[in-house]
Amino acid sequence: MEAQLGLIEQSFNVRDSLWVREALDELPDSFTITDPFISGHPIVFASHGFLKMSGYSRDEVIGDNERIFQGPETNRRSVMEIREAIEEERAIQISIVNYRKDGTPFWVLFYMCPVFSKADGRVIHFVCVQVPILRRQRRSRSEYGGNGINLSGDGLGFRFGSCRREMWSETVVGFGPVLSVDSCWGSDNGELEVDETWKATDIEKQKAAIAVNNILSVLTLYSESVGRPVSGKRFCLAGTDILGSSIVISLGRIKQSFVLTDPHLPDMPIVYASDAFLKLTGYSRQEVLGRNCRFLSGVDTDFSTIFQIKESIRTEQACTVRILNYRKDQSSFWNLLHISPVRNASGKIAYYVGVQIDEGCQNQNKHGLTPEMMQRGVVGAVKVAVRSLSMGAGTSNS
């Protein structure tokens, strides 16, 4: 239970997380909320309606990734469409087969939308609403092309039943939001026919849209009360570079302590902080993002070391220093800090990465790696993530 509360408080706000949980719990809809900035893109909230319909308890859901709701008849193409929507930070509405805790499959209209910070345009959550499809409409094969594309113009996209069981990968594809529903309506013999697409009615689509609007209203009211306003639409300041969900998910796989800063924004703020960095310093993610790294300095921090860091950034060079830093509780530690520019696919500096190693914890290194090897490993992984993202963006824009 404490771990669940910790995730929720980390995702929302420590002071007012209870308020927003209570407000969201009053909504009757089946939905979940995920946080792409927490490692693994976990569920940080699940409504009572969702828990009742899926058969899971809250402690089985919070902190887990939603791949647990996929099964052998969940269409891989549908999963990939949802993953693409997460990477492109856009809404998606799709029909898909999912599984309850007891293993029974069911059709659901899944409506996911991103929640943006008004301050910098970042995606901070994904809202995922699930509406049961209460009736099935049989459709002739003439409505589909040979490749399974839906030609009827209803906007649902694909014939999801075209994925055969033997084509299901042993490694189930994971994606941000959860898929679930409370009841399925099968064929005449009581079994779910997954080789037919269940088409959502206009009423079900309207129900999903209303649910999303109600959830966004609660999140908007809550965020304004704590001074961190959000919106269902992106508000982006001119000249800012948004750290997308796809790169955040990639960075979340790196287990060492590091931060990513943006030299193109005023005062070069932190735009990403790893879980290990938060554990090392004692700060929450909300307390770190948007601040310059100098907040780790204290009364005994050597000014000449800070000047050395500034010079390396000015000359666009990497540097390694030993600097006295301070945690949130004001305890100090010697930080073996490595800073390196991170260039995009065109060769321009996109970010700076700072890798921190607590000198006092070197004996906990179980892999026998030197600090230099650990730092280079983190920098390399960050560079791969950034360059892959920029190459993909360039390809999609061509």
Segments making up each domain of the chain, as ranges: 2-231, 245-397
**What is the CA 246 to chain-centroid distance, rounded?**
8
Q: Which amino acid is at 48?
A: H
User: What is the C-alpha to C-alpha distance for residues 51 and 49, in angstroms, rounded to an integer?
Assistant: 6
| Fold category of 245-397 in CATH | Beta-Lactamase (3.30.450)
**If 0-12 CB within 10 Å is exposed, 13-18 middle and 19+ buried, where does residue 370 land?**
exposed
How far from each other are the two terminal CA atoms of the chain, in whole angstroms?
48
Q: Which amino acid is at 315?
A: T
CA angle 257, 350, 92 (to 5 degrees): 85
Q: Would the CATH topology of 2-231 be identical to that of 245-397?
A: yes
- pTM here? 0.53
Q: Please report, in tens digits, the pLDDT of each residue of the chain (398 residues total).
A: 555 556 666 676 554 567 788 889 999 999 999 988 887 888 999 999 999 989 999 989 898 887 778 888 888 888 888 888 888 788 899 988 888 999 999 888 999 999 988 777 778 899 999 999 875 545 444 444 444 434 333 433 333 333 333 333 333 344 443 333 333 333 333 445 555 567 888 889 899 999 999 999 988 888 887 777 788 776 544 434 456 667 888 888 899 999 999 998 878 889 899 999 999 999 988 788 888 898 999 889 998 999 999 999 999 999 999 999 999 999 999 999 999 999 987 888 999 999 999 988 765 555 678 889 999 999 999 998 888 765 554 443 33
Torsion sign, CA atoms 156, 159, 161, 165: negative
**What is the CA 157 to chain-centroid distance, rounded?**
24
2-231 domain in CATH 3.40.109.10? no
Neighbours of 223 (CB within 10 A): 21
Instruction: Report the 3 state secondary structure along 97-115.
Output: EEECCCCCEEEEEEEEEEE
Nearest CA to 274 out of 250, 298, 301 is that of 250
